[in-house]
Structure 1
Amino acid sequence: MNTNMPYQNPVVEQRADPWVYKHEDGYYYMTASVPEYDRIELRRSKTINGLSDGETKVVWRKYATGPLSANIWAPEIHFIDQKWYINFAAARTTDTKEGLFDHRMFVLENESANPLEGEWIEKGQIKTKWESFALDATYFEHKGISYLVWPQKDPDIVGNSNLYIAELENPWTIKGEQVMIATPEYDWEKIGFLVNEGPAVIKRNGKIFISFSASATNHHYCMGILSADESSPLLDASSWHKQAEPIMTTNEQTGQYGPGHNSFTVSEDGKQDVLIYHARNYKEITGDPLYDPNRHTRAQVITWDQEGFPVFGEPVPDDKE
């Protein structure tokens, strides 16, 4: 084990798009895309390393037909108003149309204290401005207002997905207009596909940060960051600023390829911010990278610079025996 790092990587093998949330009960709750894209799995542990073999349960499975029958992607678990919610994306078909899948965003609800118990109720589709490719919905609260941030295809904009924000009436219903806050504009966001996706929110140092992933899901996949002042109007696109350079990319020296689709949590003692993300440990992929199963969940502590911005650093090497 790398003695300079508190976490052994990979934390969980073959789990992409990882979402880890530390709850007030002291447990870390994790969900992620499974290689078969056919179900939603929850696991929990009192430690991040313990998620590798922690208590695990399948809480929902895809349907045989219809809009919830294919490519179950990127679930996230949130605790909102004393209930648990899972956001996820699902498609009707595995066929592509002009390079896009037909994903939409959906929500599950559970009233149990422990989300690995009780019943998960389908609350339906999150309806947006268009019936178009949409996925990776994430939730955050600020100054008593609930927000949704998600990637979607605007039929009138060239590219695959832009990032949008809207206020929420409840965890599955948008209130008011959606506002585009990011679109692929730099070269590193346009390799293979024009993509801004996988948003995750962290609030620190008087700012709200949204990390996101860009480009194709092979070794070109990487992460960027948006920021807004915490006092700015978050539904005003001009409040959001994108860093011109990616914040984490493939590192040949550490053997990590295509780092992306992250979430944020905190260390066991609550004193450090921890980046949870996926990456492969090889570059060459046979076939469509989406169907290569070896995007593994990883964890590393992040730091903050003098301007109050996050420093992700290089993706750390594997150190698990």
Structure 2
Amino acid sequence: MDKRLKFNEPWILQRADPYVYEKDGWYYFTASVPAYDSIVLRRAKKLADLPQAEEVVIWKKHESGPMSKHIWAPELHYLEGKWYIYFAGGEEEDIWKIRPYVLECQGQDPLADAWVEKGKMQRADGDEFSFEAFSLDATVFEDAGDYYYVWAEKVGVGKQISNLYIAKMESPCKLATVQVLLTTPDYDWERVGFWVNEGPAVIHHGDKLYLTYSASDTGVAYCVGMLTATSGTDLLDPLNWRKERHPVLQSSYEKGIYGPGHNSFTKDEDGNDIMVYHARTETEIEGNPLYNPNRHAHLMQVQWDENGKPVFAYD
């Protein structure tokens, strides 16, 4: 363990929805920037060096039309020999028309090589529903040789509900199967301010898959829930996922950590599992929480109990 790593305190300031990807001995970091106007990347050989690493703007929003407003929650993935970035964006003319989009890198250096827009993520043939409404926070994971795409999408009328859906991928830019509902906000802790499930992330441990997600509005009530499935089973069968009754991570007034959520997972140089999440350091939020910049990236070492289940603890 790098002794310079500090846990459960601001690590990279004003970077919400933090995402870390490790490949070939390099750690890559991206996140939502407060202006919601671009996608940034930085890299370092060690997690502890990422806060000081140079940040590169690899893509900027359009002036109008799709991808011109609310550029949110980018994730970097390496699939089929190429780098991809999955992100969500709205339109200047319709700022809540949030949809998922894909960028593809034209070389092997994601910080220096050109990125091209692949457009909106494509749903499967015969799927009439996916990405028709407010859709964001896509993540990609692999199990038993197949790649899966998990995202949040709103349904209903009036005060819309944000659910999590899963589909198998045909290619890095297209789904192979129609959407399957994974989780909807069932419990009171998922319904504070808004009824929300969003921000999925997956960690493998033993023969299990653990999918964390974020719930409720983005203030102090924001928290992390979890689903569990067994690797190699039919992950498109919602009955193969078990949902936790209570949040697995929430605000701590004792520690001064508020609204933890929208995490990703990585490993440190010694192979320890690390959760990368954002949180606030104050309870009183000035202005609209969505536009307050003080969501900071934090690190937490994941513990594992005697049953091989993850424990997310501030201690």
Same fold (TM over 0.5): yes
Give 1 or 2: higher strand fraction: 2
CA deviations on 1:112-151 (whole Å, 9 max, x unpaired) are 2221011101111013424100000100111111110001
Q: Who is 2:274 aligned against?
A: 274
Cα distance in 2 for residues equivalent to 1:60 and 1:278: 22
CA deviations on 1:193-250 (whole Å, 9 max, x unpaired) are 0000000011112111110000000011000111111132101111111100101100
Contact 1:258 1:279 survives alignment (8 Å): yes
Cα distance in 2 for residues equivalent to 1:176 and 1:82: 23
CA deviations on 1:88-119 (whole Å, 9 max, x unpaired) are 000014867xxxx2200000011322210111
Contact 1:104 1:134 survives alignment (8 Å): yes
1:261 shift after superposition: 0.2
Q: Who is 1:106 aligned against?
A: 101
CA deviations on 1:295-318 (whole Å, 9 max, x unpaired) are 00111211111121110113x6xx
The AA in structure 2 aligned to 1:106 is Y
In the TM superposition, 1:1-321 aligns within 5 A as 6-7=5-6, 9-24=9-24, 26-93=25-92, 101-128=96-123, 129-130=129-130, 131-155=132-156, 159-270=160-271, 272-314=272-314
1:56 shift after superposition: 1.8
Cα distance in 2 for residues equivalent to 1:57 and 1:154: 36
Contact 2:64 2:93 survives alignment (8 Å): no
Matched-pair identity in %: 47
Q: Which runs of 5+ in 2 are unaligned?
A: 124-128
The AA in structure 2 aligned to 1:82 is G
Q: Which runs of 5+ in 1 are unaligned?
A: 317-321
1:57–1:4 Cα change, 3 Å: closer
CA deviations on 1:249-301 (whole Å, 9 max, x unpaired) are 0001111110000000001122x100000001000012210111010011121
Cα distance in 2 for residues equivalent to 1:143 and 1:232: 9
Cα distance in 2 for residues equivalent to 1:150 and 1:19: 15
1:7 shift after superposition: 2.4
The AA in structure 2 aligned to 1:91 is G
Contact 1:132 1:155 survives alignment (8 Å): no
TM-score normalised to structure 1 length: 0.92
Contact 2:208 2:228 survives alignment (8 Å): yes
1:5–1:116 Cα change, 3 Å: closer
Contact 1:82 1:111 survives alignment (8 Å): no
1:5 shift after superposition: 8.1
The AA in structure 2 aligned to 1:161 is S
Contact 2:42 2:53 survives alignment (8 Å): yes
Cα distance in 2 for residues equivalent to 1:277 and 1:81: 27
Q: Secondary structure at the residue paired with 2:55? A: strand
The list of structure 1 runs, each at least 4 consecutive aligned residues, that deviate by more than 4 angstroms after superposition, is none
CA deviations on 1:154-205 (whole Å, 9 max, x unpaired) are 2479743100000111111111211001000011000000000000011112
CA deviations on 1:32-77 (whole Å, 9 max, x unpaired) are 0000000000001111121111032100000110011100000000
Contact 2:159 2:194 survives alignment (8 Å): no
Q: Secondary structure at the residue paired with 2:176? A: strand
Cα distance in 2 for residues equivalent to 1:170 and 1:157: 35
> Across the two proteins, how many residue pairs are aligned to each other?
307
Cα distance in 1 for residues equivalent to 2:156 and 2:176: 21
Q: Who is 2:126 aligned against?
A: none
1:253–1:57 Cα change, 3 Å: same
Cα distance in 1 for residues equivalent to 2:117 and 2:152: 21
Q: Identify which range, 77-86 or 123-132, moves more after superposition.
A: 123-132
- Aligned-pair Cα RMSD in Å: 1.8
Q: Secondary structure at the residue paired with 2:189? A: helix
